[in-house]
Structure 1
Amino acid sequence: MSSPPVAPAPRWPLILLRATATAPAVLALLQTVLAAGFLNGHYEALAMHAAGATALAAVAVCQLVAGVLVRWPGRGPRWPLGVSALLTAAVMLQIGLGYNRALGLHVVLGVLLVSGTLFALVGAWRQPLPARSPAPAGAGGPEGPEDAGLLPRPGGHVGVAP
């Protein structure tokens, strides 16, 4: 007796992971620029650095949610969940170190955080998306009217009009 066919994994959790991995990477790089501005004597950059840390924490929590969604409804790998949880905890620790003026640890953890967010970014974009689920019959297909004028997918059927 055979088991019932398994539905393909949804694509949207990985697309969400890609978006939520890109945002903290950009914010982490912005944080380095703001920290450098503060160290160069632009003291108003410190307030922007603090606001950037709050934004980074919020996006890290969103990335953690995306990691959960990749694993359970998306049937994806475990690593996004673990990496997102680690990054979220590190961002929270980083904020505490910054407000407590533990600058030696704050700078070292900041370097590790930038590296970690870039690692998560590359991993999220290297994770292949599941194949699209086939369109139901009568929903257009490759020769449907809504696909008129589009180039065929690589490796797909190429029809030539007479």
Structure 2
Amino acid sequence: MSSPPVAPAPRRPLILLRASATALAALALLQTLLAGSYLNGHYDSLALHGTTATAMAAAALCQLAAGALVRLAAPARRGPRRPLGLSALLTAGVILQIAAGYQRALGLHVLLGVLLVSGILFGLVGAWRLPLQARAGTPAVGPDGAGRLPRSGGAVEVVQ
């Protein structure tokens, strides 16, 4: 016996997921720059590193909410599970990372930082790979009379 198929992700929640995943990835890359700056002797970077960590926690919570919307706003609440699961894992990781940083557990902090940046970038790619539904009322033919660009998993239209 197989489970029912996963419904496609709704348009607006998926756009929110993409935006929050992009913001979280940008903040994660900023964190690596600030950590490197601190290690190069620019000690003022440590305060910015802590402030950016708080912004990352907020972005991770936004991504978690967007992942829940992607899952629950789909028909019959059967949207893709991966964005919600990965967002929950990343949110927990960011909180643990902040705790390790303030406890000065640098070995754990650096290890978690590498894993978090990898996971955040993985989530970013995953969010942008989910197909975005077409807007309601969008014509099937482009302005030049040619067919629309093919989407992954969809039929390819050939115009002669």
TM-score category, normalised to shorter length: 0.7 to 0.9
Partner of 1:159: none
Quick check: 2:9–2:130 contact (8 Å CA) kept in 1?
no
Deviation at 1:151, TM superposition (A): 3.0
Normalised by the size of structure 2, how large is the TM-score? 0.80
CA–CA distance in 1 between the matches of 2:105 and 2:82?
30
- Residue 21 of structure 2 is aligned to residue 21 of structure 1: yes
In the alignment, the residues of structure 1 paired with residue 72 and residue 132 of structure 2 have an alpha-carbon distance, to the nearest angstrom, of 15
Cα offset, 1:63, TM superposition: 0.2
Secondary structure in structure 2 of the residue aligned to 1:132 = coil
Distance 1:9 1:27 in 2: 25
Q: Which residue of structure 2 aligns with residue 5 of structure 1?
A: none
| 1:97-156: CA deviation from partner (whole Å, max 9, x where unpaired) | 000000000000000000000000000001101232237xxxxx68xxxxxxx8347515
Q: Aligned-residue CA RMSD in angstroms?
A: 2.2
The letter for the 2-side match of 1:151 is: P
Q: Distance in 2 between matches of 1:67 and 1:117?
A: 13
Task: Give the share of equivalent positions with the same residue, in percent.
Answer: 67
Give 5+ residue unaligned stretches, structure 1.
1-7, 136-140, 143-149, 157-162
How far apart in 1 are the matches of 2:53 and 2:143?
44
Of 122, 133, 137, the match for 2:136: 133
Choose from 113, 120, 123 the match for 1:120.
123
Q: Normalising to structure 1: TM-score of the pair? A: 0.79
Task: Give 1:64's aligned residue.
Answer: 64
Could you tell me how far apart the structure 1 residues matched to 2:10 and 2:49 are?
37
How many residue pairs match? The answer is: 139
Give the AA of the match of 1:121.
Answer: L
Give structure 2 stretches of 5+ with no counterpart.
1-7, 149-160
The structure-2 alpha-carbon separation of the partners of 1:115 and 1:153, relative to structure 1 and needing over 3 Å to count, comes to farther
Closer/same/farther in 2, CA of residues 152 and 14 from structure 1, 3 Å limit: farther
Amino acid at match of 2:117: V
Q: Which has the larger radius of gyration?
A: 1
Q: Find 1:155's aligned residue among 141, 147, 151.
A: 147
**What is the identity, as a one-letter code, of the residue corresponding to 2:54?**
T
Cα–Cα, structure 1 residues 116 and 9, in superposed 2: closer, same or farther, change >3 Å? closer
C-alpha spacing 1:76/1:29, structure 2 compared with 1 (3 Å): same
**Residues 9, 71 of structure 2: 8 Å contact kept:** no
- CA distance 1:80–1:122, change in 2 (3 Å): same
